[in-house]
Structure 1
Amino acid sequence: MYTTILVDDELHCTESLAMLLKKNHPELTILGKFNESKMALEFIKANQVDLIFLDIEMPGLNGFELLSEVEDLNFDVVFVTAYDQYAIKAFTYSAISYLLKPVDEEDLQDTIVRWKEKKNKTLALNQLHMMHDLLTNTNRLKTKVALPTSDGLEFIEIKSIMRCESESNYTRLYCLDKSKHLICRTLKEVERVLQESGFVRVHHSHLINPQYIKKFVRNDGGYIIMDDGEQISVSRTKKDRLFELFNHVERL
């Protein structure tokens, strides 16, 4: 069993989220629902909580300001936000859990399953700082991505990632140096972050960095061979996007 609180200045948001949690996640005991961030802060300082569902934009204290007032971050956080899709990428870069408003029942289920699988169920301060920095500097060129590990974060160059492969609710990243990284993120979430760096989804299970395509073969429905020798099928619905990329490559 775990304990949680819900913090959002909009009453209908805390009520609807509470309803979904009570319906599908009895393992999460809701200790409180707060529509005023200062009242939530007082409760957090006086009580032990495992997980906080926290809105970012709130009057009084916003989500970041609230967390900065807590001396010991001995809990984890799922940010519930109405941020636009571009800014949302900051969450995945910093390996922090989030839910988009209005909260979807399936997304909530996936988020809680991944959270329960995490070994370290506390919010790392460096994660929080990184996300805040990314959200306030969304036009800055991103060259690295943070991967969640059992003891913190590992930062790797985006250009070093050759391809990504779905493994249920996880994704495995394959890099140029032949290292592999299994992260607790769906391929859809990884795609949200890496698509602005040119990565392309060629199959429901595969996201690739086009600069490492070695060969395209039309036989057997079409497949590509990557620089590491991996053979990846190309979905029929993804071929048009792939051919668009090929049109920008000089041909002899």
Structure 2
Amino acid sequence: VARHPGRLAGFATLPTGSPAAAADELARAVTELGFAGALVNSTLGTDGSFLDNQRFAPLLARFEALDVPLYLHPAPPPASLREVLYGGLPGPVSSVLATTAWGWHSEAGLHALRLVAGGVFDRHPRLRVIVGHCGEMLPFMLGRIDDVLPPSLTGLAAPPSEYFLRHVWVTTSGMFSVPPVLCSISVFGVDRVLFSVDYPFGANASGRALLDALPISPADKAKVAGLNAERLLRLT
């Protein structure tokens, strides 16, 4: 990154087991190394709790203070949960279903939804979050989520979609077919969708083919291809 600042930017890796230390490392990475934010692998499997837990407040407050985004990435489930949900299947099938085929994405979507339902964005109104894989199933479900989680039930100031559309951006990482990308654009708006590949887990050529195939205007394609990321990550 230091050798090619015009081509590369970095996300920090944080020791989330200690939220205070993670906050300090985020500050070092942003202020001393010039990183654009941090990528946090889902904390459920490693720390036994989601980021809406109050113990993560110092870390989320530091994201706010530094005004950089948190990229919330999936991670494998705890062993006990994996056995309940994915046990009893052939080994390779269980492993893939628990991670890249389904489990990663449903858990990451739940994690993001917990940030909303748990009042994180009310407590941290300047927090910005990125989620991958075309929104981890959330764009498809967001209308129903609003219907069944109204403010009268949640006690929040607004329906969940309003929090998502103020605080969350989605990337196309690893999703190389047109329908889920169009769903993300139609629900979140073209200004909140960022083109992404998933190298080395997905082929870059497939990502480029998706970008070429998107049936949106050239101006909107330019936003998805790079302009949105430039604004969100303050890339120059």
Q: TM-score, normalised by structure 2?
A: 0.28
Q: Which structure shows the bigger proportion of residues in strand conformation? A: 1
Structure number having the greater helix percentage: 2
Q: Which has the larger radius of gyration?
A: 1
TM-score between both structures, scaled by the size of structure 1: 0.27
